[in-house]
Amino acid sequence: MPDWDLKNLRAAIDAAGVGLWSWNVETDAITMDPRARALWGVDDEARITFNDLSAKIHPRDLDRVRAGFAATRAIVGPYEMDFRILSGDDVRWISTRGQGSDADIKHSIMRGIFLDVTGRKQAEEAHELLAGEMSHRVKNLLLVASQLARITSRSAGTAEEMARDLTRRLGALGRAHELARPGPGKPGTSALLGDLLSVLLQAYDETDGTAGRIRISVPKLDMGEAAATTLALVVHELATNSLKYGALSVERGTLDLSCPTLTEAEVVLVWTERGGPPVVAPSAPAGFGSDLIRRGMVHQFGGGIEVDWSPEGVIVTLRMQRDRLTA
């Protein structure tokens, strides 16, 4: 082959990031070009055997790679094998490719190439992680949706009422997820507490917002996606009860949602209704909706809920550990 062809071939190999290797199957000696040696972190002058390279292969892949190389002599046609190697503190993914069944073997020497496929493998792992996370979230959403349907079916008097209430509940859940979803370049960040409460309660304010029927006064606090979802369900359940039996069931009724206590350890929200029908404490045991609220406040926020059945209007106190808000 003319020199210019060899130069062009070498330039193409370098541009593709390809490392060349040969393996003497009789002596176990491996010869590698400078790029292949650099991939493996091997000294330029060092004599290399397959056992030497084996010491750099990730322990979880070592048996598979040894078996794979031994099997290449029986494989008909091309083969490809991906595995991890340890290079200092880094883990790299290497792909080796060649011809099996001793194709083109001369003087007991097999030949092939090494490619650094770390970027591709990391992308595949990220994709699998995302797929797993999406599957987990979908399952959680389906579970929550089924719980909402159970709550609605127990409290609704007619099919139309159930459809309306369930639509509102699912809409609140969807708005909470949209607000809490991390934005580009902001992993782990989410909605502000005040924005979340405003969006959730907007559907219950029959005015244009200027009459001040629903008033929200809370500090600027970040909320994580899981916390936002739980709080959305809690607030929506309280608002639904108020719409049916409390202050929001009449035009003159008002709702104040404030945060009188904010410390390094605790956040306290107080839900205060006024101007509605006379309040009477329920005589029956707490329903499924109330149980869901209490479980959410305990498990998600490490806090609790207290209800004061004041004749002037119900007062609900929600206690949350501050570090749980960003979960």
pLDDT, tens digit (0-9, with 9 covering 90-100), for 43-58: 877 788 888 888 889 9
In degrees, rounded to 5, the angle at the alpha carbon of residue 324 between the alpha carbons of residues 319 and 326 is 125
Q: How far apart are CA 172 and CA 144, in angstroms?
A: 12
Using CA atoms, how far apart are residues 97 and 111, in angstroms rounded to an integer?
9
Task: Please indicate whether residue 297 or residue 189 has the higher confidence score (pLDDT).
Answer: 297
Q: 106 pLDDT band (50/70/90 cuts)? A: low
Residue 321 has pLDDT above 90, yes or no: yes
Residue keyed to tokens 């808000």: 325
Q: What is the DSSP letter of 18?
A: E
Query: Could you give the dihedral angle defined by the CA atoms of residues 201, 206, 207 and 208, in that order, rounded to the nearest 10 degrees?
Result: 60
Task: Please give the single-letter amino acid code of residue 179.
Answer: L
Q: How far apart are CA 224 and CA 222, in angstroms?
A: 7
Q: Look at residue 206 and give its three-state secondary structure.
A: coil
All domains in the chain, ordered by first residue? 3-116 (3.30.450.20), 122-324 (3.30.565.10)
Average pLDDT, the chain: 79
CA dist., res. 212 & res. 208, Å (int): 9
What is the model's pLDDT at position 217? 93
206-222 tens-digit pLDDT: 554 545 788 999 999 98
- 289 pLDDT band, cuts 50/70/90, is low
Q: For residue 82, give the H/E element and its range.
A: strand 78-87
pLDDT at 90: 82
List of residues 6+ apart from 32 with CB closer than 8 A: 19, 20, 21, 22, 40, 42, 48, 114
pTM: 0.50
**According to DSSP H, which parts of the chain are helical?**
3-16, 34-40, 50-54, 59-72, 118-155, 159-180, 193-202, 225-245, 288-299
| C-alpha to C-alpha distance for 100 and 180, rounded to whole angstroms | 53
User: What would the pLDDT profile of 125-156 be if each residue is shown by its tens digit?
Assistant: 888 877 876 776 677 667 667 766 765 676 67
**Do residues 274 and 252 lie in contact, with contact meaning Cβ atoms separated by under 8 Å?**
no
